[in-house]
Chains A and B, each alone.
Chain A
Amino acid sequence: MSWRVLWRRLMFRNFRAYAGYVLIFSVAVTIFYLFQTLSTGLGSASAIQRRDYLTDVIGVMRGIVFVFALFFVAYFHRLLLLGESRALGLLGTFGMSRHTRRGLVLWESILLGTAGLTLGLALGLLLEPLFLLAAGVFLRLPWRLAYEFRPQLLLLTALAFAVLVLLEGGISAELAVRRWPRQLLSASRAVEEVRQPSRVRAILGLILLAAAYLLAAVIHPRILERYTEEQAEVGWLGLWLLLTPIILLLTLLGSYWLLAEGLRLLLRHRLVAPGSRAESLLARARLGARLRAHAGSGAIIAGLLAFVVTDTCMLIGVQAQVLRSTLLLNPVVVQITHPENDEAAIDAEAQRIASSLSEAGFGPVQAVRLRLVLGATPLLPFDEDGLAHFGHPRGGWYTDRIKGVNIIAHSAYTHLIGAIEVAHPSLTGIFPAVPELQPGQAFAIRTRFEEERRGWNDPAVQWLSVGRTFNVLGYDVFRVAPEEVTPDELARAPLLEVTLVGRASTAGLPTNMAAGFVNQTFLVVDDATFSALETSVREFDPESIYSFTGLFYPRWRDSQAVLMRLLPDYPVRMTSELNVQPLPLIYAEQYREFGVLLFTLSAIALLFLFASGAVIHFKVSERLESDVRQVTALRRVGATKWHVRGIFVREAAVLLLAPFLLGMVHSAVALIDWVSMLDMEAVFDRNFDIWGFTYRTFLGMALGIGLVVAVYGGAVIYRYAGRIWDRSGPAARGW
């Protein structure tokens, strides 16, 4: 029998700790592998279907997952080695050479890594079809992510983790053997030195936390308020980004000192309080030592919990808003155009679509006639100077040369908002009332527009000054890319002179989904002007009115082609004569925009939560021997099992609840920061009480996680105390 056999037995009998590490390792491998498959699946699908930022985000996520895997493997391997330090120290003392000890640590690391890798890949392969199916549903992908055995991904994952294992194993082995055996021994046998809590650090911790909260809740959102795209060079966004890690750092350091020093000061004060029972005194005395030892991980767990709760609250809030804005603010946005302007055909199709949508569960749906002609309003005449700006990166299509707007007839607008308000009374008043207009008069409406922020002083909307007269260009700015428009073509486009007689803003999107993304402005003109423009546009370019106008899609230049591909998947079949923008498509697009974020952040949050649980597990088990010794001593002086359990439960309550409560406070402040920023960004529908919604979600989350922490912590500690009691029995009885 060799020492290797003995070491293997040692590992096998300490199965729980090693299995914990293998499990963590395999989860890291599985998640990495699954994201590899998702990223690859999306990549290949994009090549034939579409390209969007989903592929990029998942690609980034793959990197993040690998960083987490790195953290998992390194952190938990170090924890595992910490538990082995006594055995390694003993072996060194008994004469095992450095070379052999280095080999031992490396061998163990490779053995466990191989087990974790094999298990992780097996789990990955097993879960891959389910994961891809879930991802497809979750992300509302319009195509199905096909399961496919990809040996190159297995190989890549195996290779990445093999390198990781070798690197981490090599570094850990070197660190382990650099220490003298005497140091390894003394590390486990030294009397625990518990430094007195520092009042200065405790106060400093409070100050740092207060500073972090102040920055997060008040200053951080205000800085973003100063940022505008036009003033990007001022660096407000950079300052805002810079502030984020500073807040995180202050929060972590403040939490650490608060836990390590502040709570210990409080305990020391209570320790000498009269009337305390023996187990309370003991529990507080032990806590004094434990709090210091656990303050680092406590601060991290508080941060992780805060991340999970904040992230979830944000995402639930966003999702709720997406649903709401889709189903309420855009109740009837189904656009149908016909080359011959056949009103009967359009009406019939509109009715058919409305009933299809109702049957599909989208509702209430009401068909409303609405004619739209896309237009563009040149701020400057199309002279040589103006046209020369097309090629300029910041002087072209959407800046101060030509403004893309949608034009809607007054009667259609009135009809539309009337229908919306009937269907959804809660939206009454959200859309501005437009007065009667004379021929040649226009009324400007800005959507998703926050007057309190930059208002009409925004340079982008200064051209919409009341009283100003300008030409409306009858050309479909969404149909073709600006680069493809020749100056000659633009010069031939029909122009119609209008005078702006009023303007207003709204958080709603009554006419055009694209308004939120591509064009935030539309002009209401009187019916005669609209008709004249429609006629002139048709004469100029009959095809222009066939195009889709309302694509909720970030890359507007690709939108038409994308919609052409996607439309056959929807209940309303597109014909050569009827172009349809169905509501399910809008909803799917909106959902997907946030779905990617939801999916990505939720995956990170789950990883965090898993890591927190694993940290608690390892932290509890690493004190086993010292706790056995202490309980042995307690039993000798007459402590009962209930005394011992009481001590451990009290200790766990503080050690688990303190980071939990701190994490909830962090999260509340982070949510204040977030809601403040949303208010400024005017992303949300005014009628949506995001704060009320968020705090209810937050309370629910806090209660839920609190319950999980209490039940999990209680069960772990109850079992642990029982285990310690059993193990301390023979030693206590021996004397």
Chain B
Amino acid sequence: MKKIMICCTFLSLLFCVGLFGKEEIDDLAMVMAVGVDKAENGEIWVTAQVVRPADARGDAGVGGTEGDPIWTATGEGKTIFEAIRNLARFSSRRIYWGHNAIIVISEEVARDGIVDVIDFFTRNNELRMRTWIVVTEKKANEVVAVKTGLEVIPGRSLDRLFRYSPIVAEAPRTDVMSLSASYIGEHVHPYLAMVRLRSRGVDPENPKEFGSIPQIELSGIAVFRDDQMVGRLNPRESRGFLWFVEDVGNAIIPLSCPDEEGPVSVELRDNRFQLTPNYKNGKVSFIATVETVTDLVELGCPTELEHSEVMEDLESDVAAYIKKDIEVMLEKVQKEFKVDAIKLGRAFQAKYPQYWNDLKDDWDEIFPEIEVKVNVKVELNNPQLLENPTRKGKD
């Protein structure tokens, strides 16, 4: 027995001849954001935002040597993999995807089809499945190269933009996993958040030039048929869309004062959404029910009404506003895009599996004609800190 054990021990030593596949951290070029564009000659153009560790130390980048915390470079190729490999022609380190926070696809690429993007980034074992993936209406390389947000590394800023996006509720939190699931899934179609560059940052050295520094902001939803983008929803339509696909966060509803001029803001707090399919006489219909508890967060008119009266009046305005969000979205998705990205088919299949087999092959034709009735119930009962509306105390 002992002899065999000694043999086993020595046999194991034979395999300890070095560390196979080892990667030293200072040999890696850590990609924080990547952009996918199409070059004029039709080739894929991949732009990688790579962190420069020596210049990106600490929360504020303090302690690093003088220099940019990121290095952005592009590679071109017939395929995504070739384009990335071509980055290695001039990158002094091996490109490493493990810390990539976001993939930005240009609208041009999205309209041509993104099956190669889905395949490459789900097949790659380095990439996280919770990497955000978005579409931008112009060039993705511009978005990837821009310095945006508070973080030292712009890729981190983009990551956090999506982590806290529910507070604006104007774009979905789409990641590689959700894209893959909706592309592979039967009778659902993908959608991705859209971002754009807007001059929103203020230059502290020249504050007169208000909003002169481009920043990345959420700008709606790109809707796909299979892997090809068919259209986009604006932020308001996107909010209507979000009710169907994910939790709507603390969105703000801008309204007008009930009896006089002035702005009012209502914040959604506790939201519930229910989609009820119906099937009668061979006709499919849905009832979408929204129930929301909201807070009054701004009342910009010195009204003589009591809070309770104002809020009672506002409840119906909020309900109408939310209903309008959903209806304009449905009009666009059903009549213009004709793509079931809002998962009505899935909801119908869940409730009526016995009828689904008869309808599923014709679902694309049925979907645009489906009647969706929207019911919104709003409860507005929290004026926050104030007992009375803000009004002047003088006669």
B partners with A: no
Binding site for B on A (CB under 8 A): none
